[in-house]
């Protein structure tokens, strides 16, 4: 093989490799954004159910968020920033704060599920508290715009 051909081959292999890496990262990013959208759909369903005092739906959707909250930290592997994402570097620079936010989400969602089960008339407070955990984490860890 000539020197130039070897160089071209190496370059092609390297590009494929890098391309695959970026593709894999976008996959991870898509998955976590889907997880977040599920949380958003559950939150909206909760708000609608509060209006109609549909405690069973509130409980079920709050439990869905208890489940998704457990998946947040693992959905943000270190370095998964190449692609269309709003994830800020603080997620990895301050990992304890990030995981505490996820824990707080789980706690707020379980408290809401408990309140729904008890048909607590003061359930609005728990719904509000849940929303505040979402926005608190977004304020610290989510950028205004997508990276690309
Ligand atoms: C532990 C931190 C954290 C918590 C808690 C959290 N989020 Fe997120 N959320 C993020 C980050 C970071 C992103 C940006 C992800 C990305 O673009 O890669 C995001 C993105 C989103 C998005 C946009 C997804 C997209 O397609 O770009 C929605 C919607 C969302 N979150 C809803 C919620 C809701 C609703 C809750 C509460 C029930 C919540 N999130 C709780 C960190 C959090």
pLDDT at 16: 67
Residue 146 placed within a domain: no
pLDDT digits (tens, 9 = 90+) for 91-106: 999 999 999 999 999 9
pLDDT at 1 over 80: no
Residue 117 placed within a domain: yes
pLDDT digits (tens, 9 = 90+) for 11-43: 777 666 676 776 678 999 999 999 999 999 999
The CATH number linked to 24 is 1.20.120.10
pLDDT digits (tens, 9 = 90+) for 116-130: 999 999 999 999 999
Ligand 1 midpoint to CA 140 (Å): 11
Q: How far apart are CA 24 and CA 61, in angstroms?
A: 30
Residue 28 placed within a domain: yes
Which position has the higher pLDDT, 84 or 19? 84
pLDDT at 7: 82
Residue 147 placed within a domain: no
pTM equals 0.90
Residue 109 placed within a domain: yes
Residue 9 placed within a domain: yes
Ligand 1 midpoint to CA 79 (Å): 17
What does the CA dihedral 87, 102, 72, 89 come to, rounded to 10 degrees?
Answer: 20
pLDDT digits (tens, 9 = 90+) for 30-77: 999 999 999 999 999 999 999 999 999 999 999 999 999 999 999 999
Total of domains in the chain = 1
Q: Report in angstroms the alpha-carbon separations of 62 from 37, 53, 105, 108, 148.
A: 14, 14, 10, 9, 33
Residues having CB closer than 6 A to ligand 1 are 29, 32-33, 36-37, 39-40, 43, 65, 72, 85-87, 91, 98, 101-102, 105, 133-134, 137-138, 141-142
User: Which residues have a Cβ under 8 Å from the Cβ of 98 and sit 6 or more positions away?
Assistant: 73, 76, 90, 91, 92, 137, 141
pLDDT at 132: 98
Q: How far apart are CA 65 and CA 107, in angstroms?
A: 10
Q: For residue 113, what pLDDT band results from cuts at 50, 70 and 90? A: very high
Residue 8 placed within a domain: yes
Q: For residue 2, what pLDDT band results from cuts at 50, 70 and 90? A: confident
pLDDT at 9 over 90: no
Ligand 1 midpoint to CA 44 (Å): 14
Ligand 1 midpoint to CA 24 (Å): 20
> Looking at ligand 1, which residue's alpha carbon is closest to its atom 8?
36
Helix H or strand E encompassing 1: none
Domain residues for the domain of 75 are 3-141
């Amino acid at each position: 093989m000539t020197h130039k051909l070897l160089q071209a081959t190496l370059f092609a292999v390297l590009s494929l490799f890098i391309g695959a890496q970026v593709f894999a990262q976008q996959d991870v990013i898509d998955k976590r954004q889907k997880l977040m959208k599920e949380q958003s759909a559950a939150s909206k369903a909760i708000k609608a159910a509060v209006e109609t005092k549909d405690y069973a739906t509130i409980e079920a959707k709050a439990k869905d968020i208890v489940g998704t909250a457990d998946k947040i930290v693992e959905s943000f592997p270190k370095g998964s920033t190449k692609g269309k994402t709003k994830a800020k570097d603080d997620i990895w620079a301050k990992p304890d704060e990030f995981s505490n936010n996820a824990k707080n989400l789980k706690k707020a969602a379980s408290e809401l599920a408990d309140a729904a089960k008890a048909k607590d008339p003061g359930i609005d407070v728990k719904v509000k508290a849940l929303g505040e955990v979402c926005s608190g984490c977004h304020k610290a860890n989510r950028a205004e715009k997508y990276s690309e």
